[in-house]
Structure 1
Amino acid sequence: MPTVRVTRYVTPLREGGSLPGVVEAEDLGTYVCKFRGAGQGPRVLVAEVIVAGLARLLEIPTPDQVVLDVDPEIARYEADEEVQDLLNASAGLNLGIDFLPGAFGYDPISEPARDLAGRVLWLDALTANVDRSWRNPNLLVWRGVLYAIDHGASLYFHHSWPGGTGDPVRFAAQPYDASEHILRGYAAEARDQDVVLGKRLDDDALRSVLAEVCDDWLEPVPGAEDADALRERYVAFLRARLDGDRGWLPGEGAA
């Protein structure tokens, strides 16, 4: 991903708990910045990059991403102390997600393309995304196209890694609860595309996605003491899920 310097903090987005903010950057772009100093730290940024990369391989629209270099000096111009603290805690490399002007939230009354909805559900089941419910769909419609956003609640397994990276087989066997998923009615479409989608995510594809993750966000843990080793652990966990018995696929009961 390209790295660009943040030139101005515009406004916070208070819909989520991690207080992302809209920023402007030196490339004249406007981005939603996910801060490394917020919430659960850089692992959320790692999940955002990985799942967005998988989405692109599966032809699921998702906003472009960049690495945002944040200088804490910009905090001097913010009156909000919470924003000041966040900017100071996030000096260095953060994640920028292209701001889609005029996008509006997904309305479940409308029906998206069924194959696309099935792919989104399949991806969420693969990556154990717990945050695409009717309460918080994390879907936008921009220029008539459905976009999947906010993937940071995926790949929950890495939050236990400070104690060691564990066993991918456990993640492979973990079923996915789609009972509150906003697109649970498209479980049949997810299952119908399973074989084709799985073939797109071979080892080369997974490693190409992991290569987009900044070394700075890959914190060493026991069993994976450097960034490349940690990338391989992510590949191993995803590979185990893809090669397993597919018990995580949304079943007919999801609808």
Structure 2
Amino acid sequence: MSARLGRFVETFRGSSFPTLAETTDGERLVIKMRGAGNGAGVLLAEFLVNRLASRCGLPVPDARVVEIAAGHPWEFGTDEFDDLLQKSAGPNQGLAWIPAARQMREDEVLALPEEMVSQIVTLDLAFANLDRTRDSGNLLLDPAGKCWIVDHGSCRFLYREGKAFPKELPVGHVFRGREELFDAGWLAGMTPELVEEVVGELPDLWLREEGISREVVVGRVGDCLGMGR
């Protein structure tokens, strides 16, 4: 079930204008709006990876659809932000808010335990993530010391045909060279039934804007998980 935007709280740096918001039922989420230049394809990729991984117990913020009403009033920000808001009426993406989390430093990332690195390597190889570099590790640390794997909009699996996993992480990936830590066991909970359920939650508008069908999405995710073998 989708939520409805109540009010914006704070906007953060990023090409997709990630913005902390409250829904009408008081839940706090980080909203990524459809009207950003990256388009619906980024939302599709991030929603699928985050929702599937979270449902399987991996340290990835859950995702849900957030509806923004047409003509939502300008509460703060620049003209550019308001223009983006008005272009984003309808379904947008909300990610679970991790209070007081911060970006991990490079030395902290490189010191992560092997099990955590295995989870990151497995997700990024399976879903073809192109953006986990030393400069933008896209890993957060919460006050309890837990690492969270975030920002999956650069996963390119929807545009990759073929059932074989890539054998190497992309050049520049912070864990390139540690591909031996790939462990399909982390993906075991992503059953065909769960994939069908999560794909069924995707808004029709995102699919139309990206020109892709649910059937194709199910197939591409299945290829990532080896279901088609």
Whether these two folds match at TM > 0.5 is yes
RMSD in angstroms over aligned alpha carbons? 2.7
Q: Contact conserved, 1:72 with 1:88, CA < 8 A, in 2?
A: yes
The reply on whether 1:168 has 2:161 as its aligned counterpart is yes
Task: Tell me what 1:152 maps to.
Answer: 153
Task: Tell me what 2:7 maps to.
Answer: 8
Deviations 1:163-185 (A, max 9, x none): xxxx832x747554344222336
1 CA distance for matches of 2:5 and 2:121?
34
Q: Contact conserved, 2:124 with 2:169, CA < 8 A, in 1?
A: no
What count of residue pairs does the alignment treat as equivalent?
225
Deviations 1:86-127 (A, max 9, x none): 010001111111221111112232322311221211111111
Between structure 1 and structure 2, the one with the greater Rg is 1
Alignment counterpart, residue 35 of structure 1, candidates 33, 53, 58: 33
In structure 2, stretches of 5+ residues that fail to align are none
Select the structure that is richer in helix: 1
Q: What secondary structure does 2:208 align onto?
A: coil
2 CA distance for matches of 1:240 and 1:98?
27
Task: Tell me what 2:179 maps to.
Answer: 187
Deviation of residue 136 (structure 1)?
0.7
Q: Contact conserved, 2:168 with 2:179, CA < 8 A, in 1?
A: no
Following superposition, which runs of at least 4 residues in structure 1 exceed 6 angstroms of deviation?
Answer: none
TM-score by length of 2: 0.84
Q: What secondary structure does 2:72 align onto?
A: helix
Task: Tell me what 2:117 maps to.
Answer: 117
1 CA distance for matches of 2:176 and 2:56?
18
Q: In the superposition, relative to structure 1, how do residues 181 and 59 fare at CA in structure 2: closer, same or farther (>3 Å)?
A: farther
TM-score by length of 1: 0.77
Deviations 1:47-79 (A, max 9, x none): 111111232255321123232221243343345
Deviation of residue 19 (structure 1)?
1.6
